[in-house]
Amino acid sequence: MANRVITISRQFGSGGRTVGRMTAMKLGIPCYDQELIQKVAEESGFAERYIQERGEELSSGGWLTAAFTDREYNGLSLQDSLWLAQRNVILDLAKKGPCVIVGRCADFILRDEADCLKAFIHADMKQRAERIVTQYGERAASPEKRLKDKDKRRAAYYQFYTDMRWGAMENYDISLDSGTFGIEKCAEILANLY
């Protein structure tokens, strides 16, 4: 049987990344997040920073940029090349063994390739705003605007490559409000379901 993988999609500032790490720790399996970005960088030649941002968010120009201005000689936009590199790395990691993968449309990429538990972590605006200011060190000026912008870009990227709606509960096995339960409890729930 295919390896058991937990994919974690998350709203920006919901602490989904930490939920992923904690879940993996509880289960004694690897969690791929920053490591995934490093691997994609190694295999594709893209800079880590570029992958970090452009590997799950559409830039301001959105698909128009991707479609018309961002072309390489081989006919693929940079964004599409990154998508393909990232996709290959995710497929490889899932083949290697059980793991937790955070973000990057892994739920969609692995839908037919692994035995996935697809989770989505969300929280209300107020709690996320607090989190990005205190934990991520974001500027305190209008964090709500920043959150909305990040969510919008992630949603647009997801929709563009998967043709499904990001954050629509139908696409996930379980969705959890990290503000209600706390990060630790969310990880416990997921580890128990594994």
Residue 65, amino acid: T
CA distance 163 to 166: 9
CB 47, min distance to its own copies, A:
33
DSSP structure string for 71-89: B-TTS-BHHHHHHHHHHHH
Q: Which is nearer to its own copies, 118 or 153 (CB)?
A: 118
Decide whether 38 or 180 has the Cβ nearer to its own copies: 180
Among the listed ranges 75-83, 104-112, 135-143, 168-176, the one in contact with its own copies (CB under 8 A) is 168-176
Residue with smaller CB distance to its own copies, 158 or 172: 172
Angle between helices 16-27 and 183-193 (to 10 degrees): 50
The smaller minimum CB distance to its own copies, of residues 55 and 98, is found at 98
Q: Is 127 in the site for its own copies (CB under 8 A)?
A: no
Q: Residue 32: what are its φ and ψ, rounded to 5°?
A: -100, 120
Task: Give the bridge partners for 100, in sequence order.
Answer: 6, 31
- Residue in 78, 156, 164, 174 binding its own copies, rule: CB under 8 A: 174
Other beta carbons within 10 Å of 166: 22
CA 101, distance to chain mean position in Å, is 8
Interface positions, 102-121, toward its own copies (CB under 8 A): 120
Q: Which of 10, 87, 104, 122 lies at the binding interface for its own copies (CB under 8 A)? A: 122
Among 138, 149, 177, 184, binds its own copies (CB under 8 A): 177
Residue 169 Cβ vs its own copies, minimum distance, rounded to whole Å: 4
Does the protein bind its own copies through residue 91 (CB under 8 A)? no
- Residue from 65, 130, 189, 194 touching its own copies (CB under 8 A): that is 189
Euclidean distance between CA atoms 11 and 155, whole angstroms: 9
- Burial readout 65-87 (b: 16 or more C-beta within 10 A, e: otherwise): ebeeebeeeeeebbbbbbbebbb
If the CB atoms of residues 32 and 120 are measured against its own copies, the closer one turns out to be: 120
If DSSP codes are grouped into helix, strand and coil, which group holds residue 101? strand
Q: By the criterion CB under 8 A, which residues form the site for its own copies?
A: 120, 122, 124, 167-170, 172-177, 180-181, 189, 193
